[in-house]
Amino acid sequence: MAEQGTTSPPRRRGRPPKGEAGDTKAALERAALGLFAKHGYAGTSIRAIARGVGLSESVLYAHFPSKRAVFEAVLSRYGPHGAAAVIDGLDPALAADDPAGFVRALVSAVMELWDTSDARLFMSLMARDGLTHDPSIVTDIDASVHRLAEVIDGWRAAGQVRDGLGDSDDLAWALLAPVGQTRVVYLHGDAAPERRRVAVERALRHAEFFVRTVLR
């Protein structure tokens, strides 16, 4: 315990500690996400983003060189790359031993990830600013499809996939595309709980359809 009458040393000026800087950057990205989703890229200013977390523009510029850099950070943090991350986060033994269980777990986890408030705001941003064809979005989607195709290649080698259904990329797309469509249609920022429930149910039914039609 500090002795009475002592004071803590003054905080050094300059860059904030690494952990604090990371927290500030994440807070700025989240504030920007909400503003971009509501007002669009053109309608959102650097000042508004900074004020959204009670900071000055100079503090924002310590983390991002421009508004475009903030926008790209938002795309990177909240974009569709989540499906690939979910695949990598699932137990590899599940993929090897129980392909049907893997498909169900994958779709459930992806829908849980996409039904967060931030993920739904991102869908509103995509709709407002027409980001469906943005190169970074397309790259992330392709990465998820190719990552799942690698898993399906293992199922093929083990004789767990029906014959004559196309290559592994085709099958990965066949699983992920309808699931992604439920996100686009249902999981936006203003989605009511009932619509969100429908999205999850549709995605899970599609997972069961995939299991019945593709897996042995």
Residue-wise pLDDT tens digits, 103-157:
999 999 999 989 998 889 888 888 777 777 777 778 888 889 999 999 999 999 9
In this predicted structure, what is the pLDDT of residue 141?
86
Enclosing domain of residue 130: 79-214
Phi (first) and psi of residue 161, to 5 degrees: -120, 135
* Same domain membership, residue 203 and residue 108: yes
How many domains are there within the chain? 2
pLDDT digits (tens, 9 = 90+) for 62-73: 999 999 999 989
User: What is the pLDDT confidence band of residue 213, given thresholds at 50, 70 and 90?
Assistant: very high
Distances (CA, A) of 177 to 22, 49, 113, 190, 203: 33, 33, 16, 22, 10
Nearest by Cα to 48 from 37, 65, 59, 35 = 35
Give the separation between CA 172 and CA 44, rounded to whole angstroms.
37
Q: How many CB atoms lie within 10 A of CB 200?
A: 18
* Same domain membership, residue 129 and residue 206: yes
In this predicted structure, what is the pLDDT of residue 85?
86
* Same domain membership, residue 117 and residue 69: no
Task: With H, G, I as helix, E, B as strand and everything else as coil, classify residue 54.
Answer: coil
Whether residue 94 is contained in a domain is answered as: yes
Whether residue 10 is contained in a domain is answered as: no
Q: To the nearest 10°, the Cα dihedral for 142, 147, 151, 157?
A: 70
Q: How many CB atoms lie within 10 A of CB 170?
A: 12
Distances (CA, A) of 124 to 99, 136, 191: 33, 17, 10
Nearest by Cα to 112 from 37, 187, 181, 208 = 187
* Same domain membership, residue 163 and residue 116: yes
Residue 20 has pLDDT above 60, yes or no: no
pTM, full prediction: 0.79
* Same domain membership, residue 207 and residue 115: yes
In this predicted structure, what is the pLDDT of residue 15?
44
* Same domain membership, residue 159 and residue 106: yes
Beta bridge partners of residue 215, listed in sequence order: 161
In this predicted structure, what is the pLDDT of residue 81?
64
* Same domain membership, residue 158 and residue 180: yes
* Same domain membership, residue 102 and residue 61: no
Q: Determine the straight-line distance between the first and last CA of the chain, rounded to whole angstroms.
A: 67
Q: Which two tokens stand for residue 24?
A: 């500030």
Nearest by Cα to 53 from 32, 69, 38 = 32
* Same domain membership, residue 205 and residue 126: yes
Left if phi > 0, otherwise alpha if psi is -120 to 50, otherwise beta: which for 54? left
* Same domain membership, residue 56 and residue 127: no
Boundary of a domain, candidates 59, 75, 91: 75
In this predicted structure, what is the pLDDT of residue 129?
77
Whether residue 25 is contained in a domain is answered as: yes
Whether residue 60 is contained in a domain is answered as: yes
* Same domain membership, residue 46 and residue 102: no
Residue 205 has pLDDT above 90, yes or no: yes
